[in-house]
A and B are shown apart, each in its own frame.
Chain A
Amino acid sequence: MDTAEWARIAADPRYIALVRRRRRFTWGLTGVMLAAYLGFILLIAFDKALLARPIGQGVTSVGIVVGFGVILLAIVLTGLYVRRAAREFDPLSEALRSESRA
């Protein structure tokens, strides 16, 4: 494929929509993951007592819930991306791909 052909696809409104929506979504998700993890690390560095505090009457601490929460968050964010990519991004890129073959 020559430059003109790549430029034609790059100017296609579907391509522009695909790239813009996906970019916003992925950077948003990256930001959430980064904030959650660095927030967790900084919480440990600056307020260990908060994480060590038990929930209710038992021994299970706030920190265990938060830690398990970060693990689940990583899996959930990954799942959210995979779902939206399959529903929304794949049809767009598939349309662009099949036209470029034609």
Chain B
Amino acid sequence: MTRRAALALAAGVVLMPAPALADALAGETVRQPTNWTAIAMFAAFAVLTLAITRWAARRTRTASDFYTAGGGITGFQNGLAIAGDYMSAASFLGISAQIFTDGYDGLIYSIGFLVGWPIILFLMAERLRNLGRYPFADVASFRFAQPPVRGFAAISTLTVVLFYLIAQMVGAGQLIKLLFGLRYEYAVVIVGVLMTLYVLFGGMTATTWVQIVKAVLLLGSATFMALAVLAQFGFSPEALFARAVAVKTDLAAAAGLDPGAAAVRGRSIMGPGNFIKDPVSAVSFGLALMFGTAGLPHILMRFFTVPDARQARKSVLWATGWIGYFYLLTFIIGFGAIVLVATEPRYLDPAGGLVGGGNMAAIHLAHAVGGNVFLGFVSAVAFATILAVVAGLTLSGASAVSHDLYATVFRKGAADSAAELRVSRRTVLVLAILAILLGIIFEKQNVAFMVSLAFAVAASGNFPVLLLSLLWKGCTTRGVVVGGTLGLVLAVGLTVLSPAVWVTILGHPAAIFPYSSPAIISMPAAFLAIWLVSLFDRSARAAVDRDGYLAQRVRAETGIGAVGGASH
């Protein structure tokens, strides 16, 4: 970086403290006055979802019902549920906040979260559905020795789930202060308890419908906000952008910049800014997002809830459509906030920042276009959003423990469905308690790196293991376990040595690993290790692994012998 660029970067950071990573709510949040409208609306959501859980509980009898809703979810429903699982509160508030401060950079971020979906469809979804039953480890261990592969899959699943869960719990605590004006600890406990009830009693059926309800509410609110903004500009995005540039120019001039510099600052929101600092970090982060999506256990699990490969395909098309649409809306919402919120003194504090902090852009916009009631509604939806995400995470963590560790590794496949369900439910309780405790422990920590770490682990551990076991005959048990573990360890280790942890959290002066994401090293390393170890694997087991490929391949490609959906 040249000295001038470094200065410009420093100036940018000083002038605009942007959310560091939009998918985890970053930065300090200040508790707001109690908002009873929002609390009442959230209570209504809780009552509705608990009623759904009660209905779902009556249909949840077997392990298959518990993990996959009996395979009876349609492609359209599953697509909405996936969108509900994937669109986090942080991506709604964080990305719109990033667009509010930096403009275009927020779009770059959201695109990264979308491009993994086509990859899942092209390489994974149908084969997963044809081969698997509950967790993705069913697929990876189709022809391999069960205990080592299951053991690896369970550990990597729990790693992803725990980091993702902590980020969500801390996000919930910050949000409740902002949105409802309640204490941090209340949020962590409310989220922990509700998520336990959904998953414990309603299993995958309840989790799916909570995710669908959340997706509909979130997409509906965002659509209304984007339309309300566009309506003020005759539905011309160009007019909206032009006004936003003018607003940013005026703000820069008011902050003391000369007219030329202010005009440059105003225009800067229409192009890339400081989000991508060096190409290596950018590509590395891009790889983690793109291939990590195809390795997230709670997402992969959703493909077992549909009756067949055809519906699995449809789910991805719907999910990609809804998620892409949501990111387009977020872009309009961010620009709408520049125009309608940044110019309105009642949303600003004396220093010129947003009341409540940077993440409040979309919430203030909700007030600007829909008044107090809509503000309450959007606040309730934003908070409810977290529940749908944590429920999916918890279910996938529980299935890793009960199906992979307990039933296969410890009981060697001798556990019956009832015993496995018992272990699942106990695991749900343990995970919930753990999530609450970790949520409270990490309150003051910067957890922004945790979501990107979860993606990096999924891209470096799960994704290479799944892809090579699906597509390469020569792949062996030993290769999968060694390579997958290497990817997992490298992803976590390099993240600890990266600026986000080594400098920001541990306080060292310089990072040992200079890039913001480990995937560019850890993912190829995992592929290479699986390939090399498999290649030189001369064990008796390796011969069995290779012989099993034919049956696995034909079944993955055609669906012959695949487990169908239950009758109900």
Contact = CB atoms under 8 A, between A and B. Distances in A.
Interface of A: 1, 3, 6-7, 9-10, 15, 18-19, 22, 26-27, 29-30, 33-34, 36-38, 40-42, 44-46, 48-49, 51-54, 58-61, 63-64, 67-68, 70-72, 74-75, 77-79, 81-82, 85-86, 90, 93, 96-97, 100
Nearest to A53: B271
Contacts of A59: 238, 241-242, 245, 267, 270
Contact of A58 (B238, B271, B278): B238
B551 interface: yes
Nearest to A42: B279
A82 B122 contact: no
B193 interface: no
Contact of A1 (B123, B279, B561): B561
B558 A78 contact: no
A78 B286 contact: no
Question: What's the dominant secondary structure at chain B's contact region?
Answer: helix
A44 B560 contact: no
Given A42-B279, A86-B310, A37 B290 contact: yes
Contact of A41 (B118, B286, B316, B321): B286
A2 B104 CA distance: 57
Interface string B104-127: 100110011011011101110010
B426 interface: no
A37 B270 contact: no
B320 interface: yes
Nearest to B552: A6
A44 B119 contact: no
Contact of B242 (A26, A58, A96): A58
Contacts of A70: 111, 114-115
A44 B270 contact: no
Contact of A78 (B112, B117, B273, B561): B117
Contacts of B317: 75, 78-79, 82
A84 to B, nearest CB: 11
B40 interface: no
B237 interface: yes
Contact of B558 (A15, A26, A33): A15
B566 interface: no
A37 B553 CA distance: 30
Contacts of B314: 82
A74 B270 contact: no
Nearest to A101: B560
Question: What's the dominant secondary structure at chain A's contact region?
Answer: helix
B271 A74 contact: no
Interface string B298-321: 000000000000100110110011
A38 B283 contact: yes
B62 to A, nearest CB: 24
A19 B557 contact: yes
Contact of A75 (B267, B310, B321): B321
Contact of A42 (B115, B283, B558): B283
B560 A45 contact: no
Interface in B224-257: 237-238, 241-242, 245
Contact of B554 (A6, A63, A64, A86): A6
* Of listed A18, A53, A85, A86, residue having the most chain B CB within 10 A: A85
B47 interface: no
Given A82-B121, A85-B313, 20 more contacts: A6-B554, A19-B557, A30-B119, A33-B122, A40-B108, A41-B108, A41-B283, A42-B283, A52-B104, A59-B241, A59-B242, A61-B270, A64-B241, A64-B270, A74-B115, A74-B117, A77-B118, A78-B118, A96-B560, A97-B560
Contacts of B245: 59
B276 interface: yes
A81 B275 CA distance: 33
B397 interface: no
A30 B237 CA distance: 31
B46 interface: no
A82 B313 contact: yes
Nearest to A55: B238
Contact of A71 (B282, B324, B547): B324
Contacts of B557: 15, 18-19, 22, 93
A10 B550 contact: yes
B237 A3 contact: no
B558 A97 contact: yes
Closest 4 CB pairs of A and B: A52-B271, A45-B279, A61-B270, A26-B122
